[in-house]
Structure 1
Amino acid sequence: MQFPAPLIPATFLRRYKRFFADVVLADGAEITAHCPNPGAMLGLNAPGLPAWVSVSDNPKRKLSHTLELVEADGGLVGINTMLPNRLVAEALEAGTIPELAGYASVRREVKYGKASRIDFLLEDPTRGRCWLEVKNVHLMRTPGLAEFPDCVAARSARHLEELADQVAAGDRAVALFVIQRTDCEAFSACADLDPAFARGLDRASEAGVEVLIYACQVLSGSVEIRRALPWRR
């Protein structure tokens, strides 16, 4: 996925009220950008980190800038949790995730469960249905090991239960973790920050939910799903 316009380099200052981030642009101007990330952003919110922001010309937006990337541990990390669904949509269309290729149709934001919407519903006359939930990953505390979540994620744990329900009903269900960084070689559920989610992921897998992990190539001009990684349980 190419960013529609070149990102603007900046320096990260602070994050507050979850969805606001102050940054300093190269000309010294301090601005407030939208921070599209409901998590803790551990390791990615230290003052002074290099950052990149996008600019929108939508006059209805209160904040014209959006924080997209932060440089940490020697590489770029995507912090926009809205981006993985766009990346997965492109990958599904291009057939670059072999485990999910070959379905006749793809629908987005389909209602399911008690009060949820699945990110993608893949359907095929001969293969049936595949319920696909996408999660953004950007936490790395141990070199090479990506972790999710970076804070308590009760909603994500509920999604795992609902995926297991689809398997019980006879459909296929997949939890896809998209790692928006290039320096990881494996993935693990973050049991110390959210033990309930870690247990839920194990239970979902045992119930037949497939767990896929894919890492991205992250550049200042584009982000693209590139390679599968193993799940370290």
Structure 2
Amino acid sequence: MQFSSPLCRGRLVRRYKRFLADVIHQDNPLTLHCPNTGRMTGCAGPDWPVYFSTSDNPKRKYAHTWELTENPEGQLICVNTTRANQLVAEALAQGWIPELAGYPRVRAEVRYGDEGSRIDFLLSGGERPDCYVEVKSVTLLEQDGRGYFPDTLSERAQKHVRELMACARTGQRAVMLFCVLHTGIDRVSPARHLDPAYGRLIDEALSAGVECLAWGADIGPEGMRLARALPFTP
């Protein structure tokens, strides 16, 4: 996935009101849209370098979108959560994820489940059962290269695990795909210390036949792509 043009670089001043961030770009103050509803733990330190895109849509109140952060270790983090599904869509189209390759039909945002959810991708066709793929963006790095999801207690994330378990129990394939958008993360685990209920649900899901995959992305100001499978450790 290439950005429409190389990202511009600035310096973070602060994030506020959840969806806004002030930066300094070429000695000038600038307000960015922040497309991330999470806590962004470890992704937004004062004076950290940030990279942003610019839209030519005249109807936008804020033309610039915060895309990447560079932490003091020089690691790049994608804070735009919409990019995870875009990267997975590209990987599915190109057949880069072997476990999910070979399905003739890929649909996005399909309604399913008893709790009123939308699955990120529904893969179908051929002789295999339909495959329900839920994508989760992983950016929380705490120590020794291990990434965690979620970055806080998340009832929504818990619901998605329950929905996948229900699919698996009916004989469909159910996959939780952790899309790692932090170049310092080399393996993924559920964040039991932040959301114990989520950790317990992941254990139940694995026993029910849900597959948990983790893939890391190459990240740069010119673009990103899913590049490598990473270990998932329950």
Q: Same fold (TM over 0.5)?
A: yes
Alpha-carbon distance between aligned partners in 2 of 1:30 and 1:62, rounded to the nearest angstrom? 16
| Shift of residue 184, structure 1, vs aligned partner | 2.1
Structure 2 match to 1:99:
99
Structure 1 match to 2:19:
19
Provide Cα deviations, 1:146-193, integer angstroms capped at 9, x if missing partner.
111111221011001001111111110100000012222211111111
Structure 1 match to 2:2:
2
TM value normalised by structure 2: 0.96
Structure 2 match to 1:180:
181
Alpha-carbon distance between aligned partners in 2 of 1:14 and 1:154, rounded to the nearest angstrom? 28
Contact 2:91 2:97 (8 Å CA) reproduced: yes
Moved more, 12-21 or 98-107: 12-21
* Aligned positions of 1:63-74 closer than 5 A: 63-72=62-71, 73-74=73-74
Alpha-carbon distance between aligned partners in 1 of 2:11 and 2:212, rounded to the nearest angstrom? 36
Report the AA paired with residue 227 of structure 2. R
Alpha-carbon distance between aligned partners in 1 of 2:206 and 2:61, rounded to the nearest angstrom? 42
SS of the residue aligned with 1:158?
helix
Contact 2:129 2:171 (8 Å CA) reproduced: no
* Aligned positions of 1:6-155 closer than 5 A: 6-26=6-26, 28-72=27-71, 73-113=73-113, 114-155=115-156
TM value normalised by structure 1: 0.97
| Shift of residue 120, structure 1, vs aligned partner | 0.3
Alpha-carbon distance between aligned partners in 2 of 1:42 and 1:60, rounded to the nearest angstrom? 31
Alpha-carbon distance between aligned partners in 1 of 2:145 and 2:215, rounded to the nearest angstrom? 14
Alpha-carbon distance between aligned partners in 1 of 2:169 and 2:210, rounded to the nearest angstrom? 10
Provide Cα deviations, 1:52-83, integer angstroms capped at 9, x if missing partner.
01001112211111100000132111111100
* Aligned positions of 1:188-207 closer than 5 A: 188-207=189-208
Contact 2:51 2:68 (8 Å CA) reproduced: yes
Provide Cα deviations, 1:120-143, integer angstroms capped at 9, x if missing partner.
000013112000000001110103
Alpha-carbon distance between aligned partners in 1 of 2:35 and 2:184, rounded to the nearest angstrom? 22
Moved more, 149-158 or 84-93: 149-158
Gaps of 5+ in 2: none
Report the AA paired with residue 49 of structure 2. P
Moved more, 85-94 or 16-25: 16-25
- Give the superposed CA RMSD: 1.0
Report the AA paired with residue 111 of structure 2. K
| Shift of residue 10, structure 1, vs aligned partner | 0.5
Alpha-carbon distance between aligned partners in 2 of 1:4 and 1:40, rounded to the nearest angstrom? 27
SS of the residue aligned with 2:86?
helix
Gaps of 5+ in 1: none
Report the AA paired with residue 14 of structure 2. R
SS of the residue aligned with 1:141?
strand
Moved more, 91-100 or 180-189: 180-189
Alpha-carbon distance between aligned partners in 1 of 2:4 and 2:58, rounded to the nearest angstrom? 17
Alpha-carbon distance between aligned partners in 2 of 1:42 and 1:215, rounded to the nearest angstrom? 19
Identity %: 47
Residues 1:158 and 2:136 are matched in the alignment: no
Alpha-carbon distance between aligned partners in 2 of 1:95 and 1:165, rounded to the nearest angstrom? 26
